[in-house]
Structure formats: structure tokens, C-alpha cells
Amino acid sequence: MKLYRIAISIFVALGLTACVGDLDVTPIDPSVTLPDEVLDSEGAYAQLLAKCYAGLTVSGSDGPDGGPDIDGIDGGFGQYMRALFYMQEFTTDEALIVWNDQTVKELHNLKWTTSDVFVTAMFSRVFYQIGLCNEFIRRAAASEFASSDNMKTMIAEARALRALSYYHAIDIFGNVPFSTEANTVGAEGPDQISRADLFNWIDDECKDLIDGGQLKGAKQNVYGRLDVNFVKMVRAHLNLNAAVYLGISDAEAKPYYDVVGTLCKEIKNDYPALHGKYTDLFGADNDKMTDEMIFCVPQDGTNIQSYGGTTFIIKASCGGGDTATAAALGIDDGWGGTLVTKEFIAKFDDADARKLFWGVNGDMNATQDIEVLEFSYGWSAHKYTNVCSDGTTPSVINFISTDVPLFRAADAYLMLAEAQLRGASTVTEAEGKEAWNAVRSRAGLGACTYTLDEMIDERGRELYWEFWRRSDLIRFDKFTSADYLWTWKGGIHEGTSADRHLNLMPIPTAELNSNKKLSQNAGY
């Protein structure tokens, strides 16, 4: 694994969440290299930017679980994409966990507290990432290289990565601490921003990045680095959820759906056809599927090792000692943790190429129930594998080489249709149906039933385990509602409703104690 030693020397003072502390410090140890001494070229800044990207991929700079960036947060479950999976998938019908690790089962039970370690891990990782990006932007903009086109592009990329993390903050936590490169954050910590004000800031920031011209165009950047469509996807998801984030009606949100329609049509023009085979997008050489992949978080079994990302997703979906399944998935062994509810699997026709589930006891009958939370009951998903599209397996199989697909064109196609169904004037019904049916055609299915009720199921079928389900269920008012139940929802085997305050995760108690400017979300 590449060590980002330049970044380490700069960010050593960031602390738990990268929101507090004075960065203008001089190390006592004369052997420690000062940032100003190493940031002496555009190449050095490129390495520093690499740390901002690496914040999505690894937990630290010393192996899969060594030297974690954030004190007190486990380097395994605290990895950014794994923490996001916990928030977005384990809380829904798409996934449940049978492990007894601390409070992990309380996520699916919808019974987390303000001190939940997994909620704290997500919060800490998001704001550590924002802190990294703020510091890069601050130093790069003040450098002697700031006026070069290359540096302007790198600053824009750091701003885009920061916008992504602020999107996760507004979606998961709502009213959060807020700082940019313009803030000098003191010991008291940053001020809290309202969800509505943060919405406007993210939207303006994305619009400026899209219109500014500093980012590479579609598919022009090197693999693993973002382009302008990354920002369009962030802005599209933000505006698609405007009614939730702003607390307004669907009718009042119509101008925001117009924005979604325009953005997704632009993305679709850059990705006019989806990749031919669905399973290729989730295998060990999915970095080659650039006809659909807008942005992936890179994984590499040799050079980028972590216990998060696809290593976690794939290994947790296979039982320990199940050598046959492990071989089929291209791994050495499984961890036996993640199952899928029967209600979710029932949404799939047998002809659907996306129906990639495995009955742990060999029984794929939808009546098989998860009455006991053990891995030997129920089903798991084998959507992701560590196998290449040609059937070969990487030489290293104890860590995974399958990249994490963060943004795919198929998602933009479905958002295009949903925006039209919600009243966007920038998309015609014919355009919405054409985009949605392209997704279904790739899955081997016929034309869609063009309704919002069907859209929430289609997004599940296409995007399961891709970190969107919680947000989608909240937007469709099904997350805490009694109108849609799934196995063990709310900690009851048959499923039960929950209080609506759970549509937001709490601000962690530790953060409230360290920053007296923050107030807790309602209901906690």
C-alpha cells in the first residue's frame, strides 16, 4: 500500500473528527518534516490530494487496520464505505447482520442510541474526510502554484470530494458542524449549520464546480479520479431528496426535480448505453467498465488493502468454511455475517439477471424465514465477486480487487424517470420511460410499470448494496412507516413501524460533549 507520508505530517493535528484543533503548530521533534518543507511542487500537492481520495478507500496509512486516521474508531468497521454500508443497508430491507459485535444488530432493529459506536464511526469518518479536503484546498489555494490549470483542477477535485461528504452528512445527520477552507476552527469547534442552509451550500458549490470549467469532462480524467459527472450525480441526488432535506411538499419541490431532470439527461448523453452485462459491474475487473461507471472507489488486493469496501461486502456474504461458495466468489474464506430479507428478494422475477441471491441452506423458496439471527438461515447476496469478467481470479484473494461502484449511469437513468414522475418539466414521459426501460432491458425484463410505487422497487433491484436504500426508503416515506414492513424491522420478527425521528441519525454524544455549539437532532 502506498503511504501518503506528506499528508500524514500535515494532518496529524486534525484529531478525532478533523473539525477541531489548531493546525498551525510546529512539531517538537526535529525529525518531523513540516508541511511547508515538502509541499514544494505540484507533484507534492498531487500526493496530498491522493490522501483525500484515499480517505474513501482505507482507514489509515499502514496496512488494512494499522495506524488508523481517527483515534478511537476501529480501522475495520470505521472505513468510510463500510461505515456507509452500515448506515444505508443494515438499517433497511436489503441487508441484516447476524454478528453480535457491540451494537451492530441495533441498526436493523432501528434502536440505535446517541452513543452508538457505528453511528459515531460514520460521523467521524465523514468529518475527518471534510477536514482533509479543507486543508488541501486551503494550502493549495495559498501556494505559489495556485494559478496553474493543473492546480485549479486538483482544488476542484478536493471541493467535489468535500461536497460528497457533506452530502452524506446532510442525508444521514441533517444539522451538522460546518467549516470550509475559509474557517480557522478553534478549540470550541465549528458552528452548526441547518439542514436547509447546508442544502443550499452544497447545491451552490456543485453548480459552481459544474459551471467553473476546472474539472475534467466526462471520462477524461484518469481512472480513480473524478470528473464533472461525479458532481452532477451529487447534485442530482441532493435535489432528488429536496422535499426531505428542506421539509417541503412534493409539489413545492418541483423546481428541484427540474434540476434533476436536466442533470440526468446530461449524464445520459455522456453514457448513452449501459454496459451489456450487469454482473461485470461488480467483479474484480470492473475498473474496465467505463461505459457505465461514473466513479468507483478503487480496491486492490495487493496495493489497497482494507477490511471495508468490497472486502467486507463479499466476505460477509459467505459463511466461514464454505469452500465451494468462497471459490465461486473468488475469495479464500467468508465471515458469515450479512443476509437479505425475504421481503426484498420477493421483489425479483426469476428472469431478472440481477437476482443474485444464495440460499444459505440451499433453499431459495421465498417462504424460508429468518426466524433465528444466525447465518445458517435465510439468504445472502452474491452480487459482488472477486472474479474477473473472463472467469479468472486475482492472484491475491484474502483482500478484494473489486472496486466500489459509487456512481453508475444506471442510477442516473432511474433518477431521470423518477424526476419526471414527480413532475419535472425538463423530462418528457417518453424520455423517462426510455431511460427506465433501458435498465430493465439489460436485466432481461420487459417494459416498466411507470409509477412511483414501482420505482422504489426498481431502484432496489438495480442498486441494492450500493449505499442508497435508506435514503430511497425515506424519500418514499417507507423507512419508519407501517406501510412497508420487513423481517426484523424495528426488532420485531414480523416487522413494525418506528418513530419518524429515526429518519435522521443522532449527532454522537462524544461530538456534543466536545463542541458546545451543537444541538442534538429532535427525538434523541
CA distance linking residue 369 with residue 96, whole number of Å: 13
pLDDT in the model for residue 67:
62
The beta-strand segments (E) located in 382-483 are: 404-408
Contact 280, 32 (CB under 8 A): no
Going by pLDDT thresholds of 50, 70 and 90, the confidence category of residue 31 is very low
18 has pLDDT over 50: no
The residue that leads in pLDDT, 12 or 486, is 486
- Indicate whether 366 pLDDT > 70: no
Where is average pLDDT lowest: 26-30, 294-298, 439-443, 505-509? 26-30
Spell out the domains of the chain, with CATH numbers in brackets: 1-210+485-524 (1.25.40.390), 216-298+406-450 (1.25.40.10), 305-402 (no CATH)
> Per residue in 122-168, pLDDT tens?
999 999 999 999 999 999 999 999 999 999 999 999 999 999 999 99
Distance CA 85, CA 364 (A): 25
- pLDDT tens digits for range 272-308: 999 999 999 999 999 999 999 999 999 999 988 889 9
For 101-117, what is the mean pLDDT?
A: 96
- Indicate if the pLDDT at residue 358 is higher than 70: yes
Cβ neighbours of 159 (radius 10 Å): 24
CB 214 within 8 A of CB 156: yes
**pLDDT tens by residue, 201-256:** 999 999 999 999 999 999 999 999 999 999 999 999 999 999 999 999 999 999 99
Mean pLDDT rounded to a whole number for the chain: 90
Q: Is 491 left (phi over 0), alpha (psi -120 to 50) or beta?
A: left
For residues 511 and 524, give the distance between their C-alpha atoms in angstroms, rounded to a whole number. Answer: 14
Rg over alpha carbons for the chain, rounded to the nearest Å, is 22
Instruction: Tell me: pLDDT of 107 over 50.
Output: yes
Residue with cell 468497521: 77
Residue with cell 427525538: 523
